[in-house]
Amino acid sequence: MKNNKIEYLDFMLSEYKYTWEQQEKLFNRIVRIKISNNNLATNEVIPTPNYMIFVEHPHVYTLGKSGDSQNLLLNYIQLQAKDAVFFKTDRGGDITYHGPGQIVAYPILDLENFGMSLRQYVYCIEEVVIKVLSIFGITAMRDPIATGVWLDVGNPKARKICAIGVKSSRFVTMHGFALNINTDLEYFKHINPCGFSDRGVTSVEKELGSKQDFKRAKELVLEKFAEVFEAFVV
């Protein structure tokens, strides 16, 4: 039995470690249900839940499992001076930054509820962000050689506005994406974002020249996520 309902959880401003732990609890809950369902008759199967966590993190750099730690250009003392912390994670992708003014979204979904593969899932996340940015009057696009959402792909001004890094097991996802709204872009100068040393990073605030309504931006992301995934968010 498929379930397209997504439970929305807003963690507001929350430490990365705590949020990761909460993700894992929800992720493991879904996986346990799926394993249990394999031993049940069809009419006894329990629908798997889906969750969406929104959060802003205090300054933190995170490295994907296949990332290169040399893409962090700060040592431990310099991290402390920047009031930032560093975590190695089990998501895909390389290094990225999270901080205030950035919408970090962690969809914890059973992709079988939505009839999609992991590749389709990442494509749909990109589509959500592209649709949101179009409402702000920003033309964004995919890059054929790099995951995420970009502006001015194919020329020297190419810059990333949304990073994506996910983990999946038994078609259950965790981790997610980070969209720069009013983000302090100075913190990106201390990494090679997502492993690229020759590309820039931007935000909605920078592109439009003024600070944006963060609450409204969150509402738009949630609205477009429900639309693209054909989901019911509660």
Q: Is residue 155 part of a domain?
A: yes
Task: State how far the Cα of 162 lies from the Cα of 7, in Å rounded to an integer.
Answer: 23
Stated pTM of the model: 0.92
Q: Is residue 234 part of a domain?
A: no
| 93 domain-assigned | yes
Q: Which residue has better confidence, 231 or 90?
A: 231
Q: Kindly report, residue by residue over 130-183, the tens digit of the pLDDT.
A: 999 999 999 999 999 889 999 999 888 999 999 999 999 999 999 999 999 999
Distance CA 229, CA 124 (A): 7
Domain total in the chain: 1
> Considering 60, 179, 181, 194, which one is annotated as catalytic?
194
The domain that holds 47 is classified in CATH as 3.30.930.10
Residue 195 in domain = yes
Active site residue 194: yes
Residue 40 is part of which domain span?
5-229
Residue 184 lies in a domain: yes
